[in-house]
Structure 1
Amino acid sequence: MTAVDERPITRAAKTFEDLDVPEGFKAELLRGDIVMMAGPDRVHNRIVQTVQDQIPHDRWDRLQTQDIAIPNEESEPQPDLVVLERGAAEGPGRLIPAPAVTLVLEVVSRTSGDRDYGEKCSMYAAGRVPAYLIIDPMEQLCMLLTEPAGEGESADYQVERITDFGDSVPLDMLGIKLDTSEFETLPAVRRRRRR
């Protein structure tokens, strides 16, 4: 049985599967709630592209708009970038099992901060995703979370490393140091705190 097979099949999951998302929007299933948001802005997309370009494609799949399945969760988040070793998830399909993923990236927007720093943190930790990178263009920082532990909503990452834009972020799990010097910024909003 795979992690995709272990997910609960609920009315929300079935509704999400059949959802017709309007062009220019994206939808995610987050702990039983269907969350729809407008597409990202150019600053967001350029940050994702800059990160993707630095990850060697000969060893890693670097996938955007890829849903992942969290075992034992009614969640199908769509991180801004999913990184997994080539060959870790072969064949067709909309979902990649979280245990196959090496790193997920979320770029914080004005409306996603609480989800990115809170709910998604516990979801990715519950799915045992080894590394979760949050890039916040409003706070001009990168937060790398590693060593997931716990179950369900109480799951969390045990190690947190914060790096300011302009400094490099060691992504040892990928064998690179991420150059953040080209990351663009957005006007600051109130600081969001991880639990």
Structure 2
Amino acid sequence: MTAPVIEASDTWHRLVSTWQELDVPDGWRAEITGGSIVMSPPPANTHNLIASRIQRALLPATPENCEIFQTLGVSIAPMFRLYIPDVVVMPVDDIGLDPEHDTAPTPARYALLIAEVTSKDNANHDRVTKLEAYARAQVPLYLLVDRWDKKGPSVTLFSAPDGRKYHGELRVSVGESITIPEPFGINLDTSLFGI
């Protein structure tokens, strides 16, 4: 008797299907990382304020065909990862508005910018795991607001991904401005974050 062969794509589809069927409590996030579904409690108020201020700053500079989301599931299927970033700028045509697939995650590669705000208990997840995944998906801009950086609260913009890592990295201390390049072309005043 031989064991059935389970294709990686079958496993991914089962994970996503399970993720879609979860009854997640309000405010909680369910993400897929390393082949497991992980639940996170609602973020702290300061965390939410920072995400909101990032969204507000990006809004006037967001390309016409795009929207800004705070609860959009983005997938990196080859890595068996599905995240719900704090802020995502995504072309509307790429999010899949088909009612039959309305809960399907959107491939992260379509995002123009993803922003994450670290939480105290899982800051390394945003610093390392998500950094690697977004670079692999070739998300052009990854904005990391690290409230728990050992050198003091910081904001880092990663850019120029090659499918393995980001080659561009611009870091400022919170309180300074950081340039978000085209298609946004703005200076983000991080003193608005209130940390």
Q: TM-score, normalised by structure 1?
A: 0.81
TM-superposed deviation, 1:130: 0.6
Q: Distance in 1 between matches of 2:18 and 2:96?
A: 26
Residues 1:161 and 2:170 are matched in the alignment: yes
Q: Distance in 2 between matches of 1:112 and 1:161?
A: 22
Residues 1:37 and 2:40 are matched in the alignment: yes
1:19 is aligned, of 19, 22, 26, to 22
1:135 is aligned, of 145, 162, 177, to 145
More displaced 10-residue stretch of structure 1: 89-98 or 128-137: 89-98
Q: Is the 8 A contact 1:13 1:74 kept in 2?
A: no
Q: Distance in 2 between matches of 1:89 and 1:78?
A: 13
Higher relative contact order (CA 8 A, sep 6+): 1
Which residues of structure 2 form unaligned runs of 5+? 1-7
Q: TM-score, normalised by structure 2?
A: 0.81
Q: Is the 8 A contact 2:96 2:106 kept in 1?
A: no
* Structure number, greater radius of gyration: 2
Distance 1:130 1:49, change over 3 A: same
Q: Is the 8 A contact 1:145 1:160 kept in 2?
A: yes
Number of aligned residues: 175
2:95 is aligned, of 81, 89, 97, to 89
Q: Distance in 1 between matches of 2:85 and 2:52?
A: 13
The corresponding residue for 2:181 is 172
Distance 1:63 1:158, change over 3 A: same
Q: Is the 8 A contact 1:8 1:73 kept in 2?
A: no
- Matched-pair identity in %: 32
TM-superposed deviation, 1:41: 0.9
Q: Is the 8 A contact 1:71 1:98 kept in 2?
A: no
Q: Distance in 2 between matches of 1:9 and 1:17?
A: 15
Q: Distance in 1 between matches of 2:77 and 2:161?
A: 14
TM-superposed deviation, 1:68: 0.7
TM-superposed deviation, 1:163: 1.0
Q: Distance in 1 between matches of 2:141 and 2:63?
A: 20
The corresponding residue for 2:118 is 108
The corresponding residue for 2:129 is 119
The corresponding residue for 2:5 is none
Tell me the C-alpha RMSD between the 2 structures: 1.9
**Which amino acid letter does the alignment assign opposite residue 162 of structure 1?**
R
Which residues of structure 1 form unaligned runs of 5+? 1-6, 186-195
